[in-house]
Structure 1
């Protein structure tokens, strides 16, 4: 937790010392708190399009003890999530943007099936996901804040297993 707080302070202090940058930058890197949580990287390309990548943990926000297939999840796992994003300015100054996108997600977690009597096996799951969100760019600052929500629909191991994906975060744009 200390490391995350240190990074946040670095981004805020560094952002205050850097002169104004263009709103539409090539890259943005930051962190996301939510489901999934972790490092967030966004690559902007073309007119109002981007690719968003989250790498981090899965299963912590909505509970580590959850029914799954013929057993339970009882831990936090690892997740990689990618979305093709389209965004549009909500305000005239473009300081607030709305966005939506679709993509995929890969997760690994400890799965405790009833057949193993309390033992676990590692479960790899694949699915599709969609998100929608809002991003705020403070005037003359190279960072942005975002809030988003969406859904993950698993295709492999448990077809149509649903999980809410939501989060908030901070990105440094360069």
Structure 2
């Protein structure tokens, strides 16, 4: 599965690098992928002069280890996550090719939880919490894609209040 993901990612990256379209715009939609915590499909809608909404749908728990203490038991696998942030962004260069952003939102996760009371069996644990993120996005001149690098944190509210998880990632988005 990892080999397939790597091959597909490299194929997408190489095809995007050969396109010659108008200069990338940050005032439209963009779709791409994010590798990190969480990993998955990334969709961003830019609107107004300096706002955006960012949505990640993918996996949670793979980057920092699949086995992790949680409540009185532990996680032993990767789970599904949906993460959304309202963002503020600003240009760091005169050409606007490098932009910084930060934002706040929420995250929903679903993983297998192994509590001691189940003697090695698991139950599905749906968790909900708030998250914050900050990052940099680079728009190469005359290309329809952008690269991004970001970091942030997730603080759980429901199932394990104050459970803290670092959220970091890098990725590529195609802007249209």
- With the shorter chain as reference, the TM-score category is over 0.9
Question: What's the counterpart of residue 163 of structure 2?
Answer: 161
Question: What's the counterpart of residue 145 of structure 1?
Answer: 147
**Are the equivalent residues in 2 in contact too, given 1:88–1:98 (CA < 8 A)?**
yes
> Deviation digits for residues 25-63 of structure 1, max 9, x if unmatched?
310000000000000000111111000000000000011
Measured on the aligned residues, the alpha-carbon RMSD in Å equals 1.4
Decide which moves more: 70-79 or 13-22: 13-22
| Structure 1 segments unaligned to the other structure (5+ residues) | none
The match for 1:131 among 130, 133, 136 is 133
The 3 A distance-change label for structure 1 pair 45 and 119 is same
Shift of the alpha carbon at 1:20? 1.7
**TM-score normalised to the size of structure 2?**
0.94
Q: Distance in 1 between matches of 2:102 and 2:153?
A: 12
Q: Distance in 1 between matches of 2:16 and 2:170?
A: 20
Question: What's the counterpart of residue 119 of structure 2?
Answer: 117
The 3 A distance-change label for structure 1 pair 61 and 96 is same
| Structure 2 segments unaligned to the other structure (5+ residues) | none
The match for 2:84 among 82, 85, 93 is 82
**TM-score normalised to the size of structure 1?**
0.95
The 3 A distance-change label for structure 1 pair 46 and 54 is same
**Are the equivalent residues in 2 in contact too, given 1:11–1:143 (CA < 8 A)?**
no
Q: Distance in 2 between matches of 1:138 and 1:81?
A: 26
3-state SS of the aligned residue for 2:156? strand
Question: What's the counterpart of residue 60 of structure 1?
Answer: 62
Moved over 2 A (4+): 1-19, 21-25
